[in-house]
Amino acid sequence: MIDDVVVVGAGPAGSIAAMLLARAGARVRLIDRETFPRAKLCGDTVNPGTLAILRRLRVSAGVEERGLRIEGMIVTGEYGVAISGAYPGGLHGRAMLRRELDWLLLQQAVDAGAMFEPSVVVRGPIVEVNGTRRVTGVVVHGLRAERQLAARVTIAADGRHSTMAFGLGLARHPVRPRRWAVGAYYEDAGGLTSFGEMHVRRGRYIGVAPLPGGLANVCLVRPSQPADAALRDPAALLRGELARDERLAERFAGARPIAAPAVLGPLAVDPVNASIDGLLLAGDASGFVDPMTGDGLRFAIRGAELAADAALKALEHGWSGVHARLAAARKKEFARKWRFNRALRALVASPRAVEAAAFGAWLAPAVVRAVIARAGDCDAAR
């Protein structure tokens, strides 16, 4: 049997795309190499803009019931700068474990009619060459044997190391930036509030998110290379960064990690300006830099909406113009935020810029609060 759509990857992008396609009446198969629920390194915050999309899609109930309400952000910098900014207009986000968020969204996809297969490893795409290349499904290996899953449309939502995107030359890890993330959950951390935190330091930053049950998500992002000795002992690296930070040392002196830290890197993924009929990219497979502004989930979920719409058009009318329209829609939706994020990342990468920003924040804290609102996608939430 040929499916209408095979979606590779059951994270937020894959589950949302599968759910929307199933709601529209498509025959959808959703596959993932993992079994769910599963752990996932993330900032664990659903910002106001992302929460607004989940409400519009009628899938926000579990997030709002189980997630911790987040009122805004606290941003600290060099020289003791600390600015607290509430999201404007009474907007708020939610914080919850990605393990739980992904499970909730996956269940929504299954409830909509998508068929989910866990523990299925994608070996690569099925590619037909008849004048031009076309993807007609995927080759997978499951619990029993290798097999082929044929589909009229394949959506690759299989993350930063996408087998599909990298295998077809549609994505690459750029030389710069080369940043890695180290994250862990702590209990008994001091000073947690209903605000998320971003501690910007020279060449690195540390995000802290309060979570239900009194847990704290701590994520360090820093430049690194795969051979970096510090990454060989991520627990010591994270412990050392917290201990030497004047704002975090005392708060985490008595805190305990509840599990070994997770390491992700290199974070950046650049899409290549190319496309293949039969295949659409979504989520981190379509491009990713790092989670500094906490809006990765919005990119994933809104991007999944756009990919699902493109898939429906391809199913109905064929592939002519589908990729161009999707690229234009993504540019219209995300271009301003991409520029905003690039500017913030460039600032963190420059010690002089971090120092200048610290003094600027002292003089004009309203600017930082505007940045907090922009990072939270509050305009989109309205």
Residue in 34, 196, 177, 56 with CA at minimum distance from that of residue 106: 34
Looking at residue 201, what is its pLDDT? 85
Residue in 98, 139, 134 with CA at minimum distance from that of residue 13: 98
What pairs with residue 121 in β-bridges?
Answer: 141
Looking at residue 336, what is its pLDDT? 80
What pairs with residue 112 in β-bridges?
Answer: none
Looking at residue 53, what is its pLDDT? 95
Looking at residue 294, what is its pLDDT? 64
Looking at residue 220, what is its pLDDT? 93
Residues 30-60: b if buried by 16+ CB within 10 A, e if exposed: bbbbbebeeebbbbbbbbbbbbbbbeebebb
Measured CA angle at 27 (ends 22, 32), to 5 deg: 80
Looking at residue 367, what is its pLDDT? 66
Strands 93-95 and 45-46: antiparallel
Residue in 139, 226, 168, 200 with CA at minimum distance from that of residue 375: 200
Instruction: Sketch out the chain's domains with CATH numbers.
Output: 3-44+97-175+268-347 (3.50.50.60), 179-265 (3.30.70.2450)
Helix axis angle, 12-23 to 296-317, nearest 10°:
40
| Tens-binned pLDDT, residue by residue, of the chain (382 aa) | 799 999 999 999 999 999 999 999 999 999 999 999 998 888 899 999 999 999 999 999 999 999 999 999 988 887 777 888 889 888 999 999 999 999 999 999 999 999 999 999 999 999 988 878 899 999 998 767 789 999 999 999 998 889 999 888 888 877 766 788 899 999 999 999 999 998 988 878 899 999 999 999 999 988 876 667 778 899 999 999 999 999 999 999 999 999 999 988 877 777 787 789 999 999 988 887 665 556 688 889 999 999 999 999 999 999 999 999 999 999 998 888 777 766 666 666 665 655 555 555 555 567 667 767 766 777 776 7
Looking at residue 382, what is its pLDDT? 72
Q: What string of DSSP letters covers 29-94?
A: EEE-SS-SS----S--EE-HHHHHHHHHTT--HHHHHHSEEE-EEEEE-GGG-EEEEEPGGG--EE
Residue in 276, 279, 291, 285 with CA at minimum distance from that of residue 345: 291
Q: How far apart are alpha carbons 380 and 376 in whole angstroms?
A: 9
Looking at residue 293, what is its pLDDT? 59
Q: What string of DSSP letters covers 245-269?
A: -TTTHHHHTT-EESSPPEEE----B
Looking at residue 222, what is its pLDDT? 85
Looking at residue 227, what is its pLDDT? 62
- Count the Cβ atoms, other than its own, within 10 Å of residue 236: 11
- 26 phi and psi angles, rounded to 5 deg: -75, 150
Tokens 């979920």 belong to which residue? 301
**pTM for the full predicted model:** 0.91
Under a CB-based contact definition with an 8 Å cutoff, are residues 215 and 243 in contact?
Answer: no
- Is residue 228 exposed (0-12), middle (13-18) or buried (19+ Cβ within 10 Å)? middle
Q: Give residue 255's Cα distance to chain centre.
A: 27
The residues, any chain, with a CB within 8 Å of residue 87's CB and separated by 6 or more, are 48, 71, 72, 93, 372, 373, 376, 378
Looking at residue 364, what is its pLDDT? 58
Under a CB-based contact definition with an 8 Å cutoff, are residues 219 and 294 in contact?
Answer: no
